[in-house]
Amino acid sequence: MKLGNSAIKKHHPKKNWMQEHVNDHYVQKANAEGWRSRAVFKLSEIDTRDKLLRPGMTVVDLGSAPGSWCQYAAKRIQPGGRLIALDILEMDPIPGVEFIQGDFRDDAVLRELEARIAGRAIDLVLSDMAPNISGIAMADQARATHLAELALDFARGHLKPGGDMLIKVFQGSGFTELREAVKRDFEVIHMRKPAASRDRSPEVFLLARKKRQRTV
């Protein structure tokens, strides 16, 4: 049996993804409203539901580029708030955001962060970090879990007692262990899947509230 031309056309995953991205409702909405990426709607939905951000807070955004979470959070914590963003990549300036380019695991970067905070306690740690996808599921899951663990370690060392953390995680190998680790450090744990998260994506957002007081 002969196949028509339409049946033997090759698929181009990258081209198909780009077309889907351009036609995406949240991409179009972000462009129309001046947000840097569609990710802003994930944070705004969680904030609306859980009342995460409020005026006067000191917030640290890990892996902040291109900056849509910063755009949103910087407005929500005024008046009196401080938002310090960190990323290895460059990020164009955003009003009300203090940006540090570098790896937050480096001592020099942490010292700069601590200098910027100037003794103020951190109320909230945000992380929308995700690895560059290789297409190898096990490797991608391991990298994503590692990034979430790094964010948790940062929160353990710098978030004030009673503070909150919102981090991107991926359901799969290591997810249960990560969630249990978070439970040891926070009193309340929620899993959130915002409408802007694509259905096929394994991403969820782990909202950890009321960091426990460390005992000596």
Any binding-site annotation on 67? yes
| Residue where the block lists tokens 């849509």 | 68
Any binding-site annotation on 128? yes
Any binding-site annotation on 103? yes
Sign of the CA dihedral running 214, 145, 163, 95: positive
Any binding-site annotation on 153? no
| DSSP symbols for 69-134 | HHHHHHHHTTTT-EEEEEESS-----TTEEEEES-TTSHHHHHHHHHHHTTPPEEEEEE---PPP-
77-104 b/e with 16+ CB inside 10 Å = b? Answer: beeebbbbbbbeeebeebeebbbbeeeb
168 carries an active-site annotation: yes
Any binding-site annotation on 87? yes
* 132 beta partners: none
Q: Which of 15, 29, 168, 183 is catalytic?
A: 168
Q: Which residue ranges are tagged as binding site for S-adenosyl-L-methionine? A: 67, 69, 87, 103, 128
**Catalytic residue set:** 168
